[in-house]
Amino acid sequence: MNSNTIYLDNSATTKPLPEVMQTFLQVNELYYANPASIHEAGVEANALLMRAREQIANIVRTEAKDVIFTAGGTESNNFAIFGTAQANVHKGKHIITTKIEHPSVLEAVKILAQQGFEVDYLSVNEAGVISLDELRSKVRKDTILVSIMHVNNEMGAIQPIQDAAKIIHEQSRAIFHVDAVQSFGKIPVQFNDQNGPDLITISGHKIHALKGSGALIFRKKLTIAPYIVGGGQEFGLRSGTVAVPQAVALAKASRIAVEAMAEKTLQYEKWYKDLHLFLRNFGSNIHLLSSEAGAAHIISFSVKELKGEILINALQKHGIIVSTSSACSSKQTTTSHVVEALNIAPSFKKGVLRLSFGAQTIDAHIEQFKTIFSDIMCDLKGENK
């Protein structure tokens, strides 16, 4: 990518931070051994792995042994869902999730539905938020799993995780899984004793660590079946040689993100408000999908009667990279399931754009976006006439 590129697609993926890459390279050079090997080189690699585990555990307030490294967010979500279902099928076959989850949750529960599990999908309001009343009415004695994402990847809605946890734990013995891929490192994600989630998914490449790294984090010992089986690594829960350099890089990126969180949040909020005002100038031509109660690093909006692809192409001619609703669904021609769930007017369904900020976003990027976007809108209006 050109170094002048203005990259505003950090919810799709991020560029590794230089210091994270440095860590990755260093570990590769010095601690390349297999952490399961019993010789000194293996023991050293394992010590490093344990330290990485501990650092991530500290951030989410759990114990080191409860951090299970995986190949990323998708695998963690699959692991949480299939693992919970397999190990708890004798307690019930009822699962609750929402209509706006990431495909790695939705596709997994779809498979389970084909296998005879019963799945309820919670609706969301215009701001993309679930109703706690609906949740309360759906949780049953035989509910074994509830999976609710923390921050939505397409428009940034934040779900009331703590309140949901309370309802779920009061009304059932269900395991509560939270896909925190878009929130970890940006807003606080923590286990909160009895009233928190049981499982949290995090991903490395969304927080300037490496692709192919992530974790499923446990609040405490839970009955979950391993999903990838073999050598019995990761306390028997996830087999395969652990990629120590990636794990250490993930811990490093997590620490950097958490330390910078307060400062970054202020920045993101400023940009969010700024863009919010800017977009409102276009009046009824633009509909904002994101609400101010949502996460500040994602702003999603739609231009009336326009295709998102046209805007993306126009912007990238000027070196600005944004996306339609999400990378995973951006090649599909159908409307995103999240946009559908938000129940917006048909004229706004095709023109969704998502801007997402990251650690390398600066004021000038936002200003440049505004300038170019105004020009494009002007041109388009001209063409319409």
Partner 1 sequence: MTTIYLDHAATTPMLKEVLVEMTAAMETVYGNASSIHTAGREARKALDEARAILAKQLGATANDIILTSGGTEADNMAIFGVAYARKHEGKHIITTEIEHHAVLHACEKLERQGFKVTYLPVDETGRVAVSAVEKALTADTILVTVMYGNNEVGTLQPIEEIGELLKHHPATFHTDAVQAFGLEKIEVEKLQVDLLSASSHKIGGPKGIGLLYAKAGTKMDSLIYGGSQEKKRRAGTENIPAAVGFAKAAQLMAEAQPKTRKAYEQYKAILIEEFTQAGIEFTVNGNEEHMLPHVFNVTLPGTDVESFLVNLDMAGVFVSSGSACTAGSIDPSHVLVAMYGKDSAALRSSIRFSFGQGLNEELVRDAGKRTVNIVKRLT
Q: Closest distance between partner 1 and the C-beta of residue 32, in Å? A: 4
Supply the angle between the helices 103-114 and 73-88 in degrees, to the nearest 10: 30
Q: Closest distance between partner 1 and the C-beta of residue 85, in Å? A: 13
User: 22 to 41, contacts with partner 1 by CB under 8 A?
Assistant: 25, 28-29, 32-34, 36-41
Does 285 sit near partner 1 (CB under 8 A)?
no
For partner 1, the binding residue among 23, 55, 62, 77 (CB under 8 A) is 77
Q: Closer CB to partner 1, residue 13 or residue 58?
A: 13
User: 151 to 210, contacts with partner 1 by CB under 8 A?
Assistant: 205, 210
User: 304 to 343, contacts with partner 1 by CB under 8 A?
Assistant: 309, 312, 316, 321-324, 327-332
Number of residues that bind partner 1 (CB under 8 A): 71
Q: Which of 36, 260, 328, 380 is catalytic?
A: 328
For partner 1, the binding residue among 16, 185, 197, 294 (CB under 8 A) is 16
For partner 1, the binding residue among 59, 67, 216, 244 (CB under 8 A) is 244
Confirm if 321 and 271 have CB atoms less than 8 A apart: no
The residues with which 321 forms a beta bridge, in sequence order, are 7
User: 199 to 228, contacts with partner 1 by CB under 8 A?
Assistant: 205, 210-213, 228
Q: Closest distance between partner 1 and the C-beta of residue 159, in Å? A: 19
Q: Report the candidate in 98, 95, 103 with the shortest Cα–Cα distance to residue 74.
A: 103
Does 21 sit near partner 1 (CB under 8 A)?
yes
Q: Closest distance between partner 1 and the C-beta of residue 168, in Å? A: 23
For partner 1, the binding residue among 123, 125, 232, 266 (CB under 8 A) is 232
Does 7 sit near partner 1 (CB under 8 A)?
yes
Does 90 sit near partner 1 (CB under 8 A)?
no
For partner 1, the binding residue among 60, 73, 144, 182 (CB under 8 A) is 73
Instruction: Give the position of tokens 């799993």.
Output: 145
| 3-class SS letters over the chain | CCCCCEECECCCCCCCCHHHHHHHHHHHHHCCCCCCCCCHHHHHHHHHHHHHHHHHHHHHCCCHHHEEEECCHHHHHHHHHHHHHHHHCCCCCEEEEECCCCHHHHHHHHHHHHCCCEEEEECECCCCCECHHHHHHHCCCCEEEEEEECECCCCCCECCHHHHHHHHHHHCCCEEEEECCCCCCCCCCCCCHHHCCCEEEEECCCCCCCCCCEEEEECCCCCCCCCCCCCCCCCCCCCCCCCHHHHHHHHHHHHHHHHCHHHHHHHHHHHHHHHHHHHHCCHHHEEECCCCCCCCCEEEEEECCCCHHHHHHHHHHCCEECECCCCCCCCCCCCCHHHHHHCCCHHHCCCEEEEECCCCCCHHHHHHHHHHHHHHHHHHHHHHC
Q: Closest distance between partner 1 and the C-beta of residue 77, in Å? A: 7
Q: Closer CB to partner 1, residue 8 or residue 168?
A: 8
Query: What is the Cβ-side half-sphere exposure of residue 139, based on CA atoms within 13 angstroms?
Result: 22
Q: Closest distance between partner 1 and the C-beta of residue 44, in Å? A: 11
Q: Closest distance between partner 1 and the C-beta of residue 286, in Å? A: 20
In the chain the first and final C-alpha atoms are separated, in Å, by 36
Does 85 sit near partner 1 (CB under 8 A)?
no
Q: Closer CB to partner 1, residue 258 or residue 315?
A: 315
Q: Closer CB to partner 1, residue 188 or residue 230?
A: 230
Q: Closer CB to partner 1, residue 59 or residue 71?
A: 71
Does 241 sit near partner 1 (CB under 8 A)?
yes
User: 40 to 59, contacts with partner 1 by CB under 8 A?
Assistant: 40-42
Does 102 sit near partner 1 (CB under 8 A)?
yes
Is 328 tagged catalytic?
yes
Active site residues: 328
